[in-house]
Structure 1
Amino acid sequence: MARYVFITGGVVSSLGKGLASAALGALLQARGYSVRLRKLDPYLNVDPGTMSPFEHGEVFVTDDGAETDLDLGHYERFTGVSARATDSVSSGRIYSTVLEKERRGDYLGKTIQVIPHVTNEIKDFLAVGDDEVDFQLCEIGGTVGDIEGLPFFEAIRQFAQDKPRGQCIFVHLTLLPYVTASGELKTKPTQHSVKELRSIGIAPDVLLLRSEHLIPEKEREKIALFCNVRKDAVIAAPDLKTIYEAPLAYHREGFDQAVLDAFGIAPAPKPNLDRWTDVMDRLVHAEGEVRIAVVGKYTQLEDAYKSIAEALTHGGMANRTRVKAEWIDAEQFENDDPAPYLGGYHAILVPGGFGERGTEGKIKAAQFAREKGLPYLGICLGMQMAVIEAARNLAKVEDAGSEEFDHETGRKRFTPVVYHLKEWVQGNHVVERKVGDNKGGTMRLGAYSAALAEDSLVSRVYGTTEIEERHRHRYEVDIAYREQLEACGLTFSGMSPDGRLPEIVEMKGHPWFIGVQFHPELKSKPFAPHPLFADFVRAAIEASRLV
């Protein structure tokens, strides 16, 4: 039976609950325990799949096709444990399930209420996989006191009561602000946050205090006294230069030991932190630097491309090189020469996205990389833009475009070399989709296999001709143009096993030009960089030597 750690937050959001959860998972692994991390989000969306990246950052996709919160990306990157659909749930999904059961008559005519029906549904979610791991770490989104989060707090309170004593603990993360005028760290926000938590029946066992400053012993003692927490369970969560320092920093502060003490686990196994020492060594002792332009449409919010940013960092680690990723709005040069914007970079990456806005700039970025011999990595939409660019400028399909853009305007303007994906094979059955289907959860989602050409660059990069990668897209490159494009040098070097769907394209005669329909960034980890990103950064290093 698993032990449960519930991680909650107070005072303000975005303090780093997801990172703290991921770091704790890594530390428990370092002590020899198995872990699974989960996220409970109070928003009413069924999942983040239909949210704008400006609203909630990127959408992280699991192997089994769930669209989830970006924190699951942190969980995977720090623990290496592949997330599943059962590791993420929102209020929207909980309420949808309850209402579906009510419509079916499952409740036998009872009055449906938040307690016990909604809370029971949350508890059922928490109990999934109870016997699979040593520790289940469950992060509750938002902050204590949020009205939409109350059913989740009530559910975890009940869940802890239902379990044997000592089977569940609560970790609470709060802000310890520094008031410059008085030159003091203020403990009152933490005290009020803990008071709010205790008012709904939850007493924290461990407190994490986020602060820009060192926490004096006097303040720790004060917080321990007023919040009824042991002093050695009051843990500092300082600002860090890199998120990958978190496991080592939290271990120095005694976070993992405080958690094990709260469970009464003694003596605790000694941790092996060699993995994280190596990660930090590669980051701190980088031997050079490359500049990579990320040409996208959500560049105002870096969290919109969180996995891209981290995968580039991992690629740098693999090469002991610091990657300086710079975010460039593709709209800036849609009607302009891209050279002033892209000159001076050692490589160009065009990430995924939806909609027509910024696409002409992305097409120009692909053209610039192709003509200048710069390493190019196009991901999802970035691959489609590279295909459209080649179709227009090499295959002379002058009005080449995507069916997606015509659907937006309701009029035909392009010859679609990218079309709406109407059907594909998933497992042993065919999935069918129509343009008018609901947006949520209707894309080609999750892990799919691809077969790579033996003499291709990607087969050399992967070291194999069979791969499996995660997808999230609704439009597909039309294989009908394969012969025309390959005659111009753009080869289809990766295909779905049935040979119907293009997965990878690359440019012959170019130092490094690859477009992929899937999202390799989702599987990259600091201790296991994705081979595409590792080789992309290597190619950028080679390009930097030619400048």
Structure 2
Amino acid sequence: MARFVFITGGVVSSLGKGLASAALGALLQARGYRVRLRKLDPYLNVDPGTMSPYQHGEVYVTDDGAETDLDLGHYERFTGVPASQRDNVTAGRIYKNVIEKERRGDYLGGTVQVIPHVTDAIKAFVLDGADDVDFMLVEIGGTVGDIEGLPFFEAIRQLGQELPRGQACFIHLTLLPFISTAGELKTKPTQHSVKELRSIGIQPDILMCRADREIPADERRKIALFCNVRPSAVIQALNVPTIYQVPIAYHEEGLDREVLAVFGIEDAPEPELGAWRGIVDAVMQPEGEVTIAVVGKYTGLLDAYKSLSEALIHGGIANNVRVNMRWIDSEVFEREDTALYLEDVHGILVPGGFGERGAEGKIAAATFARTRNVPYFGICFGMQMAVIEAARNLAGIAKASSTEFGPCEEPVVGLMTEWMRGEQLERRQANGNLGGTMRLGAFEARLSPNSRIASIYGANTISERHRHRYEVNMGYRERLEQAGMLVAGTSPDGLLPETVELPDHPWFIGVQYHPELKSKPFAPHPLFASFVKAAVEQSRLV
């Protein structure tokens, strides 16, 4: 069975538990161990699929169609291990499953309680598949002391007792704030956070202390003394210039060594971190730079586009350039001239989104890119808006629109009601539930052999992850292609358009799927690498 590492957080949220978990997974993997990472989210939503990006940030989609927490994107990017439905669970899903069992009579008339029924369900989720890996890293969302997190903390406390001795390690991530008037880092919040954790029966083995400056040795000894851990197990977690330096920084602080010590492992090989250092060098010492305008509707919270921004960085790594991202709220183009914001950019990317707000601004961005020969990359909604723009301005369909915005005369984009998953037909209703009802997960697409996108992939058949409810109407394909927009990729049955492009444009591609979800620093997605390369060429013309 796997050894289990439980990562909890204290003091405040957003300290970087997800990155810490991903970095530790990468370090253990670099030592030759098989790892898997999981996230337990205490909120009552069944999954984050119906949550506003402003509330939760990006929804990360797995190959098997799970809508999950954005931290699973960090896990995949850092370890390369594909996440699945088994790797993210919420309190809502746990309670839903427990209540469904109660309704079926599975509990044989017993009183259903948080302990043991809810905690047993959480433990079963954590243990599932543990025989397949050497280390299972389990991150608990939220902060110790949150009322909704108590069943999860209780479940991992029980696991700490039930697993064979020496099979569990508890890491607690806290904050050491710097008080400028006192001129010192304060340890009291960490002490109180650990006290809260110990009050529910969990003694951390390792403390990771986030700080914006070096933690003096005396302060680390003080933390160790008051929190009942070894001084060497107080790991300072300082800010670094790029997240891809985090594994290196944590190794230098001894995090992976301390974790192995908890399990009594003393003869593990040193991790091979040369590839990580190469990534950091590429990010920190580029040979040039380009500016990409990202025209979206959730630009007020950049976590809404986390995988996208990382994929652009990966595209920069592939081309030895720094990608400067200019985040633009698409609504501004409904009031002002696009040239005021886009005149000097080297590429325009319109990402996924939902709803009518800001749609006309995205269409305006596509018009600017098409008419000014600026590289354009439309993803999901961004592809749909590019098609509507081409329908209006190239094919002469003046009233082209999407039924997502309401009834329209020319539904160039419309609601999907059925599609094939392999050999199985999936159906949806227009007035059905919103949660989990989109076309989700990995689907194959067939690319036209002579298309630009096929040459970028170097393949005619691809598999990419989807998350959408609306689709370009294939009834308009002939008119669009006569006007110059090629439907370059479709579903295997030829019924659903997957990619479009303008063959006469320097680089203008739209895709219905989300390629950013599969990009990694060691393997930049080919579309992002090609898009950034086109931006580099554009920079020489500006």
Aligned-pair CA distance for 1:223 = 0.6
Structure 1 stretch 470-479 or stretch 421-430: which is displaced more? 421-430
Structure 1 equivalent of residue 454 of structure 2:
459
Structure 1 equivalent of residue 439 of structure 2:
444
Structure 2 equivalent of residue 361 of structure 1:
361
Pairs within 5 Å for 1:293-312: 293-312=293-312
2: CA distance, partners of 1:524 / 1:388:
28
Aligned-pair CA distance for 1:112 = 0.7
Which amino acid is the alignment partner of residue 450 of structure 1? A
- Aligned to 1:483, which of 451, 472, 478? 478
Q: Are the aligned partners of 2:452 and 2:503 in contact in 1 as well (CA < 8 Å)?
A: no
Pairs within 5 Å for 1:188-207: 188-207=188-207
Aligned-pair CA distance for 1:334 = 1.3
2: CA distance, partners of 1:29 / 1:508:
43
Aligned-pair CA distance for 1:130 = 1.0
2: CA distance, partners of 1:161 / 1:458:
54
Aligned-pair CA distance for 1:414 = 4.1
Equivalent position SS for 1:63: coil
1: CA distance, partners of 2:459 / 2:424:
27
Aligned-pair CA distance for 1:160 = 1.6
Pairs within 5 Å for 1:44-193: 44-193=44-193
Structure 1 equivalent of residue 278 of structure 2:
278
- Aligned to 2:502, which of 498, 507, 531? 507
2: CA distance, partners of 1:284 / 1:339:
31
Q: Are the aligned partners of 2:419 and 2:425 in contact in 1 as well (CA < 8 Å)?
A: yes
2:37 is equivalent to residue 37 of structure 1: yes
Aligned-pair CA distance for 1:275 = 1.5
Pairs within 5 Å for 1:171-250: 171-250=171-250
2: CA distance, partners of 1:395 / 1:494:
20
2: CA distance, partners of 1:87 / 1:452:
32
1: CA distance, partners of 2:103 / 2:409:
45
2: CA distance, partners of 1:3 / 1:269:
17
Q: Deviations over 1:22-60 (max 9, x none)?
A: 000000010000100000000000000000000000100
- Aligned to 1:525, which of 516, 520, 524? 520
Q: Which runs of 5+ in 1 are unaligned?
A: 407-411
Runs of 4+ in structure 1 deviating by more than 6 angstroms, as ranges, are none
1: CA distance, partners of 2:280 / 2:184:
32
Q: Deviations over 1:467-490 (max 9, x none)?
A: 000000000001111110001110
Which amino acid is the alignment partner of residue 2 of structure 1? A
Equivalent position SS for 1:131: helix
Which amino acid is the alignment partner of residue 338 of structure 2? P
Alignment TM-score, normalising by the size of structure 1: 0.98
Structure 2 equivalent of residue 409 of structure 1:
none
Structure 1 equivalent of residue 488 of structure 2:
493
Q: Are the aligned partners of 1:505 and 1:515 in contact in 2 as well (CA < 8 Å)?
A: yes
Structure 2 equivalent of residue 325 of structure 1:
325
Equivalent position SS for 1:260: helix
- Aligned to 1:472, which of 467, 470, 476? 467
Structure 2 equivalent of residue 395 of structure 1:
395
Aligned-pair CA distance for 1:161 = 1.0
Structure 1 equivalent of residue 411 of structure 2:
416
Q: Are the aligned partners of 1:402 and 1:414 in contact in 2 as well (CA < 8 Å)?
A: no
Which amino acid is the alignment partner of residue 333 of structure 1? F
2: CA distance, partners of 1:275 / 1:167:
30
Q: Aligned pair count?
A: 542
Equivalent position SS for 1:546: coil
Q: Which runs of 5+ in 2 are unaligned?
A: none
2:538 is equivalent to residue 543 of structure 1: yes
Alignment TM-score, normalising by the size of structure 2: 0.99
1: CA distance, partners of 2:518 / 2:158:
35
Equivalent position SS for 2:18: helix
Q: Are the aligned partners of 1:403 and 1:414 in contact in 2 as well (CA < 8 Å)?
A: no
